[in-house]
Amino acid sequence: MEGIVGVFRELDSTVGAIEAVKKLKAGNIRVYSPAPRHELEHLLHSGPSVVRRYTLIGGLLGATFGYWIPIWISDYWPLVVGGKVVPSWVPYTIISFELMVLIGSLATVLGLFIVSRIPRITMTVGYDERFSDANFGVWVECPPDRQSDVSDALKRHGAVEVRGER
Amino acid sequence: MATVARPRVHTGPNIPEANIQLPSVETYGQVTDEIRRTLNPTKAWLAGLLLAIAALLIGLGAWMWQVYMGLGVAGYSPPVMWGVYIVTFVFWVGIGHAGTLISAILYLFRAGFRTTIYRCAEAMTVFAIMTAGLFPILHLGRPWKFFWLIPYPNWRLIWPQFKSPLVWDVFAILTYLTVSATFLYRGLLPDFAALRDSERNPLRKKIYGVLSFGWRNSDIEWRHFARAYLFLAAFSTPLVLSVHSTVSFDFAMANTPGWHATLFAPYFVAGAIFSGIGMVFTIIIPIRRWFNLKHYVTLNHLDAAAKLCLFTALIVATAYITEFFIGWYGGSEIEHSFWYNRVFGQWWWAAWIMLTCNTILPLSLFWQKLRRNTTWLFTLSLFINLGMWFERFVIFDPSLSHEFEPWQWTRYAPTYIDWAILLGSFGWFSMWFLLFIKNFPVVAIAEIKEIIPPPLRVAHAVEGIEVTGMHLEFEPETPGERD
């Protein structure tokens, strides 16, 4: 992985730089910001997050498991309580609901970790500690022959620091 | 993500709007620095921690004595076999509910004032459920057998009875604890990254590095983070309603006077949220003062939270009136006798503490001056905590001591063991909370950065850049926002 990273102090400078770099078509762009910003998300034309699939699958599995385990246990040890049928689905809906929430939530966080590619052991290429404090960052993954164009574009739009990394 | 509006001209007083403006918070760097500064330990914090540990040790000692001597030392005698422990269990579960309301439900409603207080409220939720979870175990004669309630394959070939509300409770509470802790940790990820990057102490830097899981604030991470936030909030919202409903079923499913009512689920949920908001005030008002966070947790935010408190107090009052009305008008002699005994008879003192603290005193919040008076809010919050503990006492023990047969009627009085364990539970809760506030940010760093205006090269908003939030012109005369 090789490219150029630019450090910006302002949001509008960052937006201008991203637009300019996109026109160059030099390579993949990654943007860092201290807080989520709609402007950056819209600019990068990011699609819908796939975390929702993990949530859906986790929730369905949880709900199914929540019905299955009490029904199976009721049949395994049939005990009539209050004259109700042995596998009574109404009280088991509470178990099903709780497990839907539990497994759905855990699956959501698992999905967040998987699609965001964390945990991450190393933090080196393209990242700067200022990005979690007050600065914005634009990392452009590009071959050596395009790096000067990218670097010029970032500087022209107000980057306070531009450097190559690999 | 940031909710967005163009800057607009200030047209009138902003006091009643309780909007999210933080006029004294201007830059992203300021947010990181000021919130990071709250992590420096102080002597007062250490003294508080030692006090909490001392209270915990008193409770621990009382519990060990109870294990040795048996449950009789806790004042139990038939037919009153549920006392202070179940009261305190429901009290702590209820405390947790405001945290989820503020962090999840108000997030879905896009209520901006939650942003500065939700971290404290979320942590409060997790520690309150951890505290509540101890009480069913404390209530066991053989506490080392508590895991028998968990369904797992075992040599006894016995499974829990899934039609029992007590088993529903196990699932509800464990789910609530896990989801609340997950929700809290997910929100902390970007803040851990900010602390990791600004930390100079190598050991703390390493610890924050591990805790942050290598979070880098990239566009991909933020996109999925926002989506996960939404889904977790969507899961937590019905969960918070279900948990206290399930707790209420422990009572409502029993054919006991005063318990067997369909009102119980909404009654419990409203009471839980009300008591939780009371505890949020108890916690957040000292924190904003001691940590110099008055310009983050502004009077506007407290004003809005006080309105929420007033609203839930009115729901609780409606539930009391409904319950009393049905007791008086319902035509059941048993219920009528029980209701009279509760309010005017044997337990009148407890019932009137409950009614005064939970329905009469909160009416003061109709006055804006009192909603914006932190001394009154803090005092009121203590009364609410007291009143809500007594609410549970009034629900549980009068019923058990005044059932159908007059020969069963009896008295119940908590013993010193009960009070010591109650004190220990406050020590346990306070210990975890105090450890939390000195190791983790009490205000969400990344979310505060979302609601303050972003740094711009051109002073005014330019095409394609949206200026966050309702940044009305600041009113210098608004009390408390600059101090």
Q: What is the DSSP letter of B144?
A: G
Nearest chain A alpha carbon to B221: A116
**Residue at token pair 């409060």:** B124
Chain A residues touching residue B246 (CB < 8 angstroms):
94
Written as one letter, the residue type at B417 is I
CB contact B73 to A (< 8 Å): no
pLDDT single digits (tens) A123-137: 678 889 999 999 999
- The residue written with tokens 């910001």 in the block is A33
Q: What is chain A's length?
A: 166
Interface residue of B22, B162, B188 to substitute, partner A, most A CBs within 10 Å: B162
A3-47+122-165 fold: Alpha-Beta Plaits (3.30.70)
Q: Quick check: B224 and B190 in contact, CB under 8 A?
A: no
Q: Å from A157 to nearest chain B CA?
A: 10
- Is B192 part of the contact surface with chain A (CB cutoff 8 Å)? no
Order of strands, sheet of A3-8, starting from the edge strand that comes earlier in the sequence: A28-32, A136-141, A3-8, A161-165
Question: pLDDT tens digits, residue range B398-414?
Answer: 888 888 888 888 888 89
pLDDT tens readout for residues B182-199: 999 999 999 999 999 999
> Does residue B361 lie within any of the structural domains?
yes
Kindly calculate the radius of gyration of chain A based on its CA atoms and give it in whole angstroms: 25
Q: Considering the domain boundaries, does residue B348 fall inside one?
A: yes
Q: Is residue B40 part of a domain?
A: no
Strand partners, A163: A5
Average pLDDT taken over every residue of chain B:
87
Q: Which residues of A touch B158 (CB under 8 A)?
A: 77
Pairing outcome for strands A136-141 and A28-32: antiparallel
Contact B182 A79 (CB under 8 A): no
Chain B residues touching A11 at Cβ < 8 A = 454-456, 465
Domain positions in chain A: 3-47+122-165, 51-115
Closest to A31 (Cβ–Cβ): which among B1, B32, B218? B218
DSSP letters for B422-480: HHHHHHHHHHHHHHHHTTS-SS-HHHHHHHSPPP-SSSS--TT-PPBS--PPP-TTSTT
What's the CA dihedral at B221, B224, B228, B231 to 10 degrees?
A: 160
Closest residue to A116, CB basis, from B28, B162, B221: B221
Task: Please tell me the distance from the alpha carbon of residue B99 to that of residue B138, in angstroms, as a whole number.
Answer: 25
Total count of domains within chain B = 1
Phi, psi of B468 (to 5 degrees): -70, 150
User: B210 pLDDT band (50/70/90 cuts)?
Assistant: very high
Residue in A closest to B35 by C-alpha: A133
Does pLDDT of B12 surpass 90?
no
Q: Which of A37, A69, A101 is closest, CB to CB, to B179? A: A101
Please report residues of A whose CB lies closer than 8 A to that of B446. Answer: 34-36
Tens of pLDDT along B337-388?
Answer: 888 888 998 889 999 999 999 999 999 999 999 999 999 999 999 999 999 9
> Residue B137 CA to chain centroid, in angstroms?
21
Per-residue H/E/C for B138-183: HCCCCHHHHHHHCCCCCCCCCCCCCCCHHHHHHHHHHHHHHHHHHH
Q: How many CB pairs under 8 A join A and B?
A: 213
Q: Note down the domain range covering B412.
A: 51-144+173-446
Residue numbers in A near B231 (CB within 8 A): 51-52, 55, 104-105, 108
Using the structure block, give the residue that is written with the tokens 């309010």: B343
CB B172 within 8 A of CB B246: yes
Residue of chain B whose alpha carbon sits nearest to that of A80 = B163
Distance from CA of B24 to the nearest CA of A (A): 17
B48-72: string of b/e by CB count within 10 Å (b at 16+)? Answer: bbeebbebbebbbebbeebbeeebe
pLDDT per residue over B219-234, tens digit each?
999 999 999 999 999 9
- Asked whether the predicted pLDDT for residue B6 surpasses 90, the reply is no
Say what the pLDDT of residue B121 is.
Answer: 94
Rounded to 5 degrees, φ, ψ at A137 are: -135, 145
Give dist(CA A111, CA A115) in Å, integer. Answer: 6
- Is B19 domain-assigned? no
Kindly report, residue by residue over B259-304, the tens digit of the pLDDT. Answer: 988 999 999 999 999 999 999 999 999 999 999 898 899 888 899 9
Cα gap B456→B90, rounded to integer Å: 50
B80, β-bridge pairs? B77
Using CB atoms within 10 Å of the CB of residue A118, give its burial: 0 to 12 exposed, 13 to 18 middle, 19+ buried. middle
Residue B37 forms part of a structural domain: no
Query: Residue B124, SS3?
Result: helix
Alpha-carbon radius of gyration of chain B: 24
Selecting from B197, B446, B465 the residue whose C-beta is nearest the C-beta of A39 gives: B465
Question: What pLDDT was estimated at residue B154?
Answer: 80
| B291 inside domain | yes
Write out residues 54-113 of A within 8 Å (CB-CB) of B. 55, 59, 69-70, 73-74, 76-77, 79, 81-82, 84, 88, 91-92, 94-95, 97-99, 101-102, 104-106, 108-109, 111-113
Average of pLDDT values for B457-481? 51
Q: pLDDT grade, residue B19 (50/70/90)?
A: low
**Amino acid code (one letter) for B191:** D
Min Cα–Cα distance to chain B from A128, Å: 9
Inter-CA distances, B22 with A147, B294, B444, Å: 41, 10, 14
Query: By three-state DSSP, how is residue A78 classified?
Result: coil
Report yes or no: A53 at the B interface, CB cutoff 8 Å.
Answer: no
- CB contact under 8 Å between B214 and A109, yes or no, is no
| Predicted local confidence at residue B152, as pLDDT | 79
